[in-house]
Amino acid sequence: MGQTVERGGVADSVRREPLAVALVGGGAIARVIARRLVDEHPEVRLVGALDIDPAGARERGFAPEVPLVDSLDALLALGPSFVAECAGHAGLLQHGPGVLRAGLDLVVASVGALADARLEGALREAAAAGGARMRIPSGAIGALDALASARVGGLEQVGYTGRKPPLAWRGTRAETVVDLDRIVEATRIFEGSAREAALAYPQNANVCAAVGLAGVGMDETRVELYADPQARGNEHRLQAAGAFGELRFEVVGRPLAGNPKTSSLAAYSLIKTLVAPARAIAVG
């Protein structure tokens, strides 16, 4: 049985008992999610988060109200109804199968990790064993629902172009392709498939993998990535065509505070996904 609360003049039905959720990850994305859930979303209860260095995560500003643990068993013991992963590819590899085998749905932020066919297979097997599902949020780009709908209607080609400032490419393979300190105009650092992009740039190209999964597949989705000193932010452009018609979509996202490789919209997308099951009307 639910109760009704007023938010901005709009009635929204929520559970009398808040929906219990947990996070795998204690980094920049997890900090934003935890703070927003605690401060703004009483319809859900963040029961805890998993980080390999709880003390370090706390020192970096993780919400003090939220328990931090260092093992999956400890996290599951807190009783979440479902879990969101925002710990990078290694975190998904280490903890994702265990969450799914425990029968808990898993919201996957590090979707680029699914470019590894072995990991994708392991996650699918774990989901089947636990009767659970993986959920892919719209992340930094959005439009995935439209792309998936276009696939039903007849989708023939999909292209994605990503542009980020040089700072966002530091510490990646891009440093072996161009001199990030000296480029003065948009410089292409990658061209290939979405799978190749996600494997080559695991911190920057999760969007590519999500687009591939929603549309024609990772191997058929064409990707170009640019380091661009004139980029207005993290720029994402999606083009698709087929029997359904044509689709063009563009997002210019502000980088996440503390992590220039990630768009802030990626964190907000996870929050939306976590909150949606507790709402009477959920869009997207």
Token digits of residue 284: 């997207």
Please answer whether residues 221 and 160 qualify as being in contact, where contact means their C-beta atoms are separated by less than 8 angstroms: yes
Which residues make Cβ contacts (< 8 Å) with residue 59, sequence separation at least 6?
Answer: none
Clarify whether 236 is annotated catalytic: yes
Amino acid at 99: V
Please answer whether residues 265 and 32 qualify as being in contact, where contact means their C-beta atoms are separated by less than 8 angstroms: no
Q: In 3-state terms, the chain is what percent helix, strand and coil (to 5)?
A: 40, 30, 35
Amino acid at 19: L
Given 41, 89, 95, 236, the catalytic residue: 236
C-alpha 242: how far from chain center: 27
Q: d(Cα 104, Cα 248) in Å, to the nearest integer?
A: 35
Token digits of residue 164: 């980020």
Helix (H) or strand (E) holding 246: strand 245-253
Q: Which residue has the tokens 């636990």?
A: 130
Residues with catalytic roles: 236
